[in-house]
Amino acid sequence: MDETIEILSGVRLINPLSDFDDIVDIAIDRHSVKWIRKASGSPSGLWLIPGLVDMHVHLRTPGYQDAETLETGLRAAIAGGVTSVGMMPNTTPALDSLTLTMEVAGRGNSLGLAEIEPIPCVTAGRRGEHCVDFEEFAESGITCFSDDGSPVESSTALSDAFQRIAAFNGVVIEHPEVTSLAAGGAVNLGLASTETESPGIPESAEYLDVKRCIDILRNSNNSARLHLTHLSSPESIRLAHQASLEGLRVTCDVTPHHLALNEGEVIARGPVAKMNPPLRSEESRKMLVGMVRDGMVSAVASDHAPHPACRKNLPLSSAAFGIIGLETLLPVTLSILGGEAGMYPMDIIRLLTTAPAEILSKEPPEIAPEKKLNMVLFDPEHRWTYSSTFSRSANSPFFGRKLTGKVLRVWFGRELYREGEFVFV
């Protein structure tokens, strides 16, 4: 037999695109799957899943390379089993021109790690006033836009965006926030703001903007697409779901940390658990988990937001918002949605692969003969401590904690990662 062929025996292949979930033997060479057969021996206990699509990632380039570089961010992605990252544009300068966006994405993609899906700004400089040249981006195949870090403040600009992006099936990814209600806030308004004596951010600061965006969509071009990202309030998800039942093209995502943690985390641990939107009450967290189980949420995304220690080791009111999340995306999401919500692995993996790919209008990841290798070998039972990271930053409340489920190997075009190390064959 050709020496470059490797056989992975008795793996559970979970392939959402074909709805396939069974124990198989699979043969691969250096670049592609050769064949997939029913397992001849006993199950190995390991899963083989497509490379994850994380639609919300901050690579901090240009401008904040003290927090993350393209290389450290894309290595953290691969180590987490993420082979495709949605790159958010709140950099300095912001990614609002085709030239800059292509230059940064091109540099990242040339590293041969995870691939970048660029998500440039909706408005010039993310100032929320004048829209970018959507049509020019679309000609280069870029169809997803966001002012993430901020909402699209101007309703006129948002309306203009919806009118124009529908022509090429584009999508606006909104960071829903009424800035006047959230301004100055550090933690959830309620127990967290009382206990930490910090200014609070109410859930209404999120869901009132969700409502505004849906109203604008309905009244401008109701065939355009709106995606609401990192929702933390059950009322936001209810509004998004109601809009989709009405026939509007509205989708949404939640983060693993809003599913796994509540405001008690920021009370106990301070800035390492400070993020925007903030961790909410236990009641809201439980409702969020139930809404994912009930199919009201379209995708799970990490909102990977690296910061150096100097911007996190500060009083709660002045520390930066955000946590890293690429390397914990899969184990944390599986633990909560598989455990507490009792969801099937297939339905969870779909939220991390084909569902976000569809929102981003990209080809869905798939494990199939003659396809480019794009897959993750995962041990669902492995207990490990999250104690080192490939990110340049380490701001995660999961750091130092025991997690269940570990990425063992990752292939994207070729094998890239094996047992904690990068391999380039």
Which of 300, 251, 292, 237 has its CA nearest to residue 53? 300
Residue 125 CB, shortest distance to Zn ion, in Å, is: 17
- Shorter beta-carbon distance to Zn ion: residue 304 or 362: 304
Active site annotation includes 25: no
Q: Which residue lies nearest Zn ion, judged by its C-beta?
A: 175
What kind and span of H or E run contains 287?
A: helix 282-293
Binding mask 148-167 vs Zn ion (x if CB under 5 A, - otherwise)? x-------------------
* Residue 68 structure tokens: 């993350």
CB of 398 to Zn ion, least distance (A): 19
By rule CB under 5 A, what string of x and - marks binding of each residue 347-366 to Zn ion? Answer: --------------------
Indicate which residue of 96, 148, 253, 303 is catalytic: 303
Q: What angle do CA 59, 62, 63 make, to 5 degrees?
A: 105
In single-letter form, the type of residue at position 195 comes to E
Tokens of residue 150, six digits: 């901020």
For CA atoms 179, 259, 266, 313, the dihedral sign is: negative
Estimate to the nearest angstrom the gap between the alpha carbon of 91 and the chain centroid: 17
Query: What does the per-residue mask of binding to Zn ion show for 182-201, with x meaning CB under 5 A?
Result: --------------------
Are the CB atoms for 279 and 188 separated by under 8 Å? yes
> Rounded to the nearest whole angstrom, what is the least distance from the CB of residue 299 to Zn ion in the complex?
14
Q: Of 305, 415, 414, 372, give the one whose Cα is nearest residue 54.
A: 305
Asked whether position 311 contacts Zn ion by CB under 5 A, the answer is no
Query: Which window, 27-35, 147-155, 321-329, 408-416, contacts Zn ion (CB under 5 A)?
Result: 147-155
CB-based contact 172:165 (threshold 8 Å): yes
Q: Give the type of residue at 389.
A: T
Q: What residues have CB less than 8 Å from 269, skipping those under 6 apart?
A: 397
Among 175, 257, 350, 409, binds Zn ion (CB under 5 A): 175
The residue assigned the tokens 């989708």 is 251
Nearer to Zn ion, 148 or 160 (CB): 148
CB of 325 to Zn ion, least distance (A): 12
Stretch that binds Zn ion, among 161-169, 172-180, 328-336, 412-420 (CB under 5 A): 172-180
Stretch that binds Zn ion, among 140-148, 214-222, 341-349, 369-377 (CB under 5 A): 140-148
# of chain residues touching Zn ion (CB under 5 A):
2
The stretch near Zn ion (CB under 5 A) out of 91-99, 127-135, 141-149, 290-298 is: 141-149
**φ and ψ at residue 256, rounded to 5 degrees:** -60, -35
Q: How far is CA 305 from CA 73, 203, 254, 322, in A?
A: 10, 21, 15, 5
Q: Between 67 and 367, name the residue whose CB sits nearer to Zn ion.
A: 67
Residues of this chain that interact with Zn ion (CB under 5 A) are 148, 175
Residues involved in catalysis: 303
